Every structure is written in structure tokens, then in C-alpha cells.
Amino acid sequence: MEITRFADARPYTAPKHHDMRGLRLQGFDASGARFAWTGLSHFLPGGGAEMDASPLEKIYVVLDGAVTIELGNGATERLGKFDSCFIPGGEARAIRNEGNAVASMLVVMPYPEAAA
């Protein structure tokens, strides 16, 4: 078993994100997990991620606060505490924290082919 203590989690930068602070919880340099990596994203008020699509599927679980997920087709959903969503690979999405409190979200994703 490999444990990552929250106090020891290392920050990472996510492309096309703004006013977001990410912590790597498992995978990559945090553990030997090979099937997926897990991060914790803290979105400041007004923070988010640009509309973008990747070939990788992803799972988001909101742990605190709320975020708005906008899909490439214009549909939007507000996710609150303990709400979650699955986004298939290739589906465009944007993320916004439209509130005045920090929103925290668990992110689970497979590795890119080159990093596996």
C-alpha cells in the first residue's frame, strides 16, 4: 500500500486552467498507481478551465462548493457537494466556479498513452 498524506501532496499545473491549484494525490510521482491518477483541484472564485476536449475520459467528484460544467454542445450542469460526473474521451468541457467560495473537486483520469 502507498499512502499520500494530504500534508505531503505535491502541487501540479493543469494546462488551460486558471485560478486553480491542483494537488497530486495518487499516480505519476505520488504513487505507483498504473491504471489512473487522482488529483485534487481547488478552484478559486472565478476560476476554471477553458473549453477543451482530450481523448481521455475523466471523473469529477465535487467535494466542497460548486462548479458549473459546460459541454461543447452548450449544455451546462451545476455540480454541488458530492455530485459527480463522467466525461467520455473526446467530449469538450469547460469548468467554472461561479460562486464566492473555493470549490474543491477530485479528478480521476487514466494516464496518457505516452506516460503509461
- pLDDT tens digit sequence for 3-61: 999 999 999 999 999 999 999 999 999 999 999 999 999 999 999 999 999 999 999 99
All 3 cell numbers of residue 82?
458530492
* Global model pTM greater than 0.85: yes
Contact 50, 94 (CB under 8 A): yes
Ordered domains of the chain (ranges, CATH): 10-115 (2.60.120.10)
Q: What is the DSSP secondary-structure string of 58-105?
A: EEEEEEES-EEEEETTS-EEEE-TT-EEEE-TT--EEEE--SSS-EEE
